[in-house]
Amino acid sequence: MKHFLSAISQGQHTGPRMSVVVNTYEQPEYLRRVLLSLENQLISGDEILIADDGSGNATREVVNAWKARLSFRVEHVWEEHQGFRRSRILNAAIARAQSDYLIFLDGDSVPHPRFLADHRRVARKGCYIQGHRVCFTQAFCTRQCFGCIRRSFHYMNIIMISPWMHWCLCQ
């Protein structure tokens, strides 16, 4: 099932338009996994920008395959590799974004299925959101967070909205 496409195709888009910016360099298999997880999100984003710091043909082939597979905008923002220039390629991708809300993912970070839904839910105009995903054991979760037990793991997003607000978005 392609959850990532469902909100756009059914006209149920609410909240800010979202661009997912994925930075990568010479890790096509990891990038493939990240794109698969984005395809299977509970809700959709509006575009994916691959910020590529000079990867070779294998990464280009992955991006082209996903462009053909998905029905929304996927752009490969590529610059020649001249050493570690992550900030430069991210800035190039940001300049090409067509959405109001930017979400950044490292090319080896596979987001959980509610990642975009969580972002859309806590988005506030004039604020930035910074988050970290942490995997807790069931024993830790039982001691720390009541009612948050799922399977043998529990994923908890610690999201910071402005410096003074921390939310635990238990799933």
pTM beyond 0.75: no
AA letter at 30: Y
Whole-number average pLDDT of the chain: 76
Across-strand partners of 59? Answer: none
Which two three-digit tokens encode residue 126? 């004039």
Cβ–Cβ < 8 Å for 18, 7:
no
Q: What is the pLDDT of residues 72-106, one digit of tens each?
A: 899 999 998 888 889 999 999 999 999 889 999 98
Across-strand partners of 65? Answer: none
Under DSSP, the state recorded for 7 is H
Topology of domain 3-123, CATH: Spore Coat Polysaccharide Biosynthesis Protein SpsA; Chain A (3.90.550)
Under DSSP, the state recorded for 42 is S
Across the beta sheet with 165-170, the strand order is 129-137, 153-161, 165-170
**What tens-digit pLDDT sequence spans the chain (171 residues)?**
344 444 433 445 567 889 999 999 999 999 999 999 899 888 888 999 999 999 999 999 999 999 998 878 999 999 988 888 899 999 999 999 998 899 999 888 888 888 899 888 888 888 877 766 566 566 655 555 444 433 333 344 444 333 333 334 444
Q: How far apart, in whole angstroms, are the C-alpha atoms of residue 36 and residue 93?
A: 20
80: left (phi over 0), alpha (psi -120 to 50) or beta: beta
Q: How far apart, in whole angstroms, are the C-alpha atoms of residue 25 and residue 86?
A: 9
Q: How far apart, in whole angstroms, are the C-alpha atoms of residue 171 and residue 168?
A: 9
| Ranges of CATH 3.90.550.10 domains, the chain | 3-123
AA letter at 26: E
Residue 149 C-alpha from the chain's centroid: 24
